[in-house]
Amino acid sequence: MSPKPAVSAEFVTSAAGAGDFPRDGLAEVALVGRSNVGKSSLINALVRKPVARTSAAPGKTRLANVYRVQSARGPAFYLVDLPGYGYARGGDASAREFRQLAEAYFARGMGTQRAVPRKELAAVLLVDARHPGLEADLAAWEWLQAQPIPIAVAATKVDKLTRAERVRHSRELDSLFAGPVPLVSSHAGEGLEELWKLIVTLPNPTPMAEPEPPPPPLRPRPLKPRR
DSSP tally for the chain: helices H, then strands E: 5, 6
Model pLDDT, residue 45:
93
Model pLDDT, residue 189:
93
Query: Measuring CA to CA, which residue among 64, 97, 172 is closest to residue 128?
Result: 172
Report the C-alpha gap between 91 and 89 in whole angstroms: 6
pLDDT digits (tens, 9 = 90+) for 51-72: 987 765 555 567 899 999 987 7
Burial degree of 131 (CB within 10 A; 0-12, 13-18, 19+): middle
Distances (CA, A) of 55 to 36, 38, 106, 140, 177: 9, 9, 25, 22, 28
Q: How many CA atoms lie within 13 A of 71 on its CB side?
A: 19
Report the C-alpha gap between 101 and 142 in whole angstroms: 17
Model pLDDT, residue 56:
55
The answer to whether the beta carbons of residues 64 and 10 sit under 8 Å apart is no
Report the C-alpha gap between 211 and 149 in whole angstroms: 25
Task: For the domain made up of 8-201, give the CATH fold.
Answer: Rossmann fold (3.40.50)
pLDDT digits (tens, 9 = 90+) for 6-29: 468 999 999 988 889 998 889 999
Model pTM score? 0.81
pLDDT means per 10 residues, the chain with 227 residues, are: 62 90 92 92 92 66 88 85 72 71 81 52 96 94 91 97 97 96 96 93 58 43 53
Count CB neighbours of 108 within 10 A: 19
- For 8, phi then psi, to 5°, come to -155, 155
